[in-house]
Chain A
């Protein structure tokens, strides 16, 4: 039964070998001509923000937004199956989802009260 997976193993080996080969070969075969653009961090075309030299920090606003998105994303993930199986789950499902949503809203309330939703 494991033999069915042999092509996968072959693929893994091939991929690993290619990666190793590329990394190992690059210094030898590639030209080395540096310029400003090449030395900058790649940031999706956006100019990187300068960091203070004193061990500065970068804003976590996007990070917070992403986290909040996940909170509600997860909520939706659970709401869909409940909606599909609502008939089968009955009152139990309703109460359970109410508790679940309430719990998620506790987190939301916390973020809101502690200023997590304010952009500046």
Chain B
């Protein structure tokens, strides 16, 4: 054996001296991230030092300032293309577009968090998550005016993690971002004010499965690093997969994909989605469904297009198959759901499949319109999703939100406006023309067809038709059924929810009727890397 290489002190010394150098750091390029991380840190301090009675408005203001500041920063940075922080972060068109999308949708979600006039208990969140469900203290808190304010820093951290996720140019940073965005979500999922046990169960399931998926990602990262010698996407790309005898990076890619697909709730890694969407507080569900989807697809796009863009022949058949499975699982399983939130969870799974259709629009040498199509779809889908869950928060009975489908019967007679708004979002999710969903589907299908994936598009159309059934079932239920005797009431939304509904409704219509400007923006932003 001879001398152990590990104990070769001479080598150790050289490594230690040369390893750490001051990295180049473009502070301007990461302003959006700094805004949100800063807001999150300030939020923690507010939580620590501000008196209880001013915390809520201050926290909402801080979180909104952070997200909207990030949105503005992204807009101001438009056109910037650089790789910074020791090659770990990419500031590029696609990253900024997706970061802006996440920041915007995040701001809307925070507005939903801040709604205080719908629930008699003043908030969707439990005042003290540590109090056991059903205990005397818990019942006492139900009627108290105390509200949970830690959700705002948590959500802000999650948004920061999501934005970092889409900007990560390095698998390790990507993993860190994955954890930063996941951990707050696990907590948020368990904080529902009503049906707390369901919420806690959802949180635990999400946490356990999320940890499982993170392990897959980490293992994949290790394998890729082991075979290519780098965690940076550009280096992985340079190493390539041309050497077909090397199976390690391929397995690594597979495990990375598993980890990311889990976050994007793509079948067959979707199993957590219905339970978690149903159990979580609805504003959190809106946040997860919209922002996490954007972030996860941002990372998927970056991983597949940048790190493995030259060897797309390896992952194309896999993504092809997963897209089909996801679309069909989401569409078919959604048919028999009786809970609105579960139904929307399956809708989210089906939409993940449609998004993968767009991901397949990558042509040889980085051509193709897959990136811009997927980005537009993410924006359109995210807006409609926040909107649709916002409507779900409005329909309530004595026990909180009335999410059973039968309770929505005849809603149009009780509240025509609410039913009309819900119908608009459902039509958008179904992809009916004159809504954003149609343009989104159209662009991703076109991108896929341009790369010859028309059989996939045929399956996608079939899946759309099946999924349209359950969207329209709810529409029919709202308009053509007699309302139940003791049916739910439609709450009068406060200012935050009203703003969210106004923004999402108008954006859904604008993106459906005059999408030209945004499509063009997505096209111009469809650039990865410097």
Contact = CB atoms under 8 A, between A and B. Distances in A.
Interface of A: 55, 57, 81-82, 84-85, 88-90, 92-93, 103, 106-107, 109-110, 112-114
A88 B132 contact: no
A92 B132 contact: no
B171 to A, nearest CB: 20
A92 B47 contact: no
Nearest to B245: A2
Nearest to B41: A106
Contact of B22 (A84, A88, A106, A114): A88
B45 A106 contact: yes
Nearest to A60: B130
A82 B16 CA distance: 11
Given A55-B132, A57-B132, A103-B41, A112 B20 contact: no
Contacts of B44: 106-107, 109-110
Nearest to B133: A55
Nearest to B24: A92
A106 to B, nearest CB: 5
Contacts of B480: none
B48 interface: yes
B313 interface: no
A107 B157 CA distance: 13
Nearest to B18: A88
A101 B22 CA distance: 18
A5 B13 CA distance: 28
Contact of B45 (A81, A82, A110): A110
Contacts of A109: 44-45, 48-49
B25 interface: yes
A55 B22 CA distance: 53
A112 B22 contact: no
A89 B22 contact: yes
B20 A110 contact: no
A92 B20 contact: no
Given A103-B41, A106-B44, A107-B44, A81 B20 contact: yes
Nearest to A92: B22
B21 interface: yes
Nearest to B153: A110
B119 to A, nearest CB: 25
A113 B132 contact: no
Interface string B47-61: 111000000000000
A7 to B, nearest CB: 12
17 contacts: A57-B132, A81-B20, A82-B20, A85-B21, A88-B20, A88-B21, A88-B22, A89-B20, A92-B25, A106-B41, A106-B44, A106-B45, A106-B48, A109-B44, A109-B48, A113-B48, A113-B49
Nearest to A84: B16
Contacts of B17: 85
A114 B22 CA distance: 37
Contacts of B41: 103, 106
Contacts of B132: 55, 57
Contacts of B19: 85
**Which 3 A-B pairs rank lowest in CB-CB distance, beginning with the nearest?**
A113-B48, A85-B20, A92-B22
Contact of A112 (B16, B25, B48): B48
B194 to A, nearest CB: 19
Nearest to B40: A106
B396 to A, nearest CB: 29
Contacts of A81: 20
Contact of A90 (B16, B22, B47, B49): B22
B16 A110 contact: no
Given A55-B132, A84-B16, A103-B41, A93 B22 contact: yes
Contacts of B49: 109, 113
A102 B432 CA distance: 51
Nearest to B23: A92
Of B22, B25, B45, B49, most buried by chain A (CB within 10 Å of CB) is B22
A54 to B, nearest CB: 9
A75 to B, nearest CB: 16
Given A89-B22, A107-B44, 7 more contacts: A55-B132, A81-B20, A85-B19, A89-B21, A92-B25, A110-B44, A114-B47
Interface in B93-140: 132
Contacts of B48: 106, 109-110, 112-114
Interface string B384-413: 000000000000000000000000000000
A25 B163 CA distance: 52
Nearest to B46: A110
Contact of A110 (B21, B25, B47): B47
Contacts of B20: 81-82, 84-85, 88-89
A6 B74 CA distance: 51
Nearest to A109: B48
Contacts of B21: 85, 88-89
Contacts of A110: 44-45, 47-48
A88 B23 CA distance: 11
